[in-house]
A and B are shown apart, each in its own frame.
Chain A
Amino acid sequence: MDGREDCEMNNDKEMPVPDGAATGDRWAQLVFEGINSSISGLSQMVGQEVKVTSLDPRQQDVGKVHDLLGGPETMIIGVYLGIRGTAPGQLLLAFEPETAFKLIDMLLTQPEGTTTEIGEMEESVLGEMGNIMGAFFLTVLGDNTAGQLMPTPPLIINDMAGSVIDAILAQMMLEADDVMAVETKFGTADMDIKGAFLVLPSTDLVNLAVQERSAA
Chain B
Amino acid sequence: MTVDTADNLVVGLGQLYVRKAPGVLVCLGLGSCIALSAYDPKSNIGGMAHIVLPDGTGRVDQNSPKYANAAVPLLLEEMEEQGANLSRLLIRMAGGAKMAGIGALGTVFKIGESNIEATRLALTKAGIDRINGADVGGSHGRTVRLWLETGRLAITASNREPVEI
Residues of A within 8 A of B (CB): 62-64, 66, 71-73, 75, 80, 82, 90, 152-153, 155-157, 159-171, 173-174
Contact = CB atoms under 8 A, between A and B. Distances in A.
Interface of B: 12-15, 28-33, 52-53, 59, 66, 97, 99-100, 102, 104-105, 107-109, 111-112, 140-143, 158-159
Report which residue of A75, A163, A164 has the largest number of chain B beta carbons within 10 angstroms of its beta carbon. Answer: A163
A149 B29 CA distance: 31
A167 B111 contact: yes
Contacts of A159: 31, 99, 140-141, 158-159
A71 B28 contact: yes
Report which residue of A66, A173, A174 has the largest number of chain B beta carbons within 10 angstroms of its beta carbon. Answer: A173
B66 to A, nearest CB: 6
A165 B31 contact: yes
B99 A164 contact: yes
A169 to B, nearest CB: 7
Contact of A173 (B29, B31, B52, B143): B52
A160 B109 CA distance: 16
B108 A82 contact: yes
Given A63-B13, A160-B143, A161-B29, 19 more contacts: A66-B29, A71-B29, A72-B143, A155-B105, A157-B99, A159-B31, A159-B158, A160-B31, A163-B31, A163-B97, A163-B140, A163-B141, A167-B32, A167-B109, A170-B32, A171-B107, A173-B53, A173-B66, A174-B59
Nearest to B12: A63
B15 to A, nearest CB: 8
A75 B12 CA distance: 18
Contacts of B143: 72-73, 160
A159 B32 CA distance: 12
Report which residue of A64, A75, A155, A160 has the largest number of chain B beta carbons within 10 angstroms of its beta carbon. Answer: A160
21 contacts: A63-B14, A63-B15, A71-B29, A73-B29, A90-B108, A152-B105, A159-B140, A161-B29, A162-B31, A162-B141, A163-B31, A163-B32, A163-B140, A166-B13, A166-B29, A167-B32, A170-B32, A170-B111, A173-B14, A173-B53, A174-B59
Contacts of B33: 166, 170
Contacts of A173: 13-14, 52-53, 66
Contacts of B59: 174
Contact of B158 (A155, A160, A171): A160
